[in-house]
A = this chain, B = another copy of it.
């Protein structure tokens, strides 16, 4: 498998494909790497897979894409989550007390009344879905555990593709099966791509409902950033129609929703529900930038796919997780009954495929930050941002 080179698609998109995991063929390659040199390509890049050992990370796998100026680490065994990224001097990552890449075999999602998800949470991007998302709740006597199951399902098939033609876009995608007899027949091709030379990566997911029935679904892209990007005086900006506190505790932070506190022991977390504005095509942008406005990250998405945006400000103590979440989704993280009552549970028809795209762009200079601000202003287009004091629902 290591040296398999196949050309797929038309010549425009011809790719070198490497299958690193394949449950149908019984393949799980433990350690692997490829580089531009291996493929006779001039543009430098290196892609590698490693298998982790020890503690609760025994058997976890990582795939690292390195394009020279950007390094991105994917976790096939944790639902193709993104562990962390680095673009020159900008780190997209955070420091969770959970410092291992936990193998889902060691996770019991039902622990602590449905909070077992927190035993593995440390990713820069964790998907919350797809059968359900949000805070734990009980429906028909059945506990829906925090943030669903997709992040704790190992990928059944993992493919690395490198486009043969310049600029040699690199894609890593994995097939995640959320299957329960009588309940769920969902498959997601969860992927991310990087083009060498760019300061961006693009998440592209295809959720497929293989059931003969229409099903509910929810997805929140829980993107998380810590120090040094996050700091006292760091700013959050988004084209925002409406902002409201998630709960009573967050009311006190509503007025300052756009700025961050430094490490604040005892702060815990404040969460805000944002209804984004978008341009005529549905495009919108959210951004985190540091205090100086010289570094940042922006998330571009389309409100036709992801109409809700959750802002999680967890400016807690450093050792316990100083982190903010910028979370485009189909919904907010209220318990499912609240989301249902307020009409935010999406439907996917039998055989239907829903696609989701989030573009992460790393902003490495004041110019980059200003450009993203200008883009947000273009989308906002002078429209009002309404601050609503009453939480939408109850946790």
Contacts and interface: CB of A to CB of B under 8 A. Distances in A.
Given A112-B183, A212-B318, A320-B212, A26 B55 contact: no
B109 A109 contact: no
Contacts of A155: 54-55
A22 interface: yes
Most buried by B among A22, A52, A182, A317: A182
Contact of A113 (B142, B156, B184, B211): B142
Contacts of A180: 97-98, 112, 115, 118-119
Nearest to A323: B181
Contacts of A211: 97, 317, 319-320
A308 B125 CA distance: 45
Contacts of A54: 21-24, 26-28, 154-157
Given A105-B106, A210-B97, A118 B59 contact: no
Pick the 7 closest A-B CB pairs, nearest first: A23-B54, A55-B156, A212-B317, A28-B53, A97-B185, A105-B105, A113-B142
Copies of this protein chain in the complex = 3
Contact of A98 (B28, B181, B319): B181
Interface centre among A181, A317, A321, by most chain B C-beta atoms within 10 angstroms, is A181
Given A28-B54, A54-B28, A157-B54, A177 B99 contact: yes
A242 interface: no
A58 B154 CA distance: 9
A177 B97 CA distance: 9
A48 interface: no
A181 B96 contact: yes
A165 interface: no
Given A179-B98, A184-B97, A153 B105 contact: no
A213 interface: yes
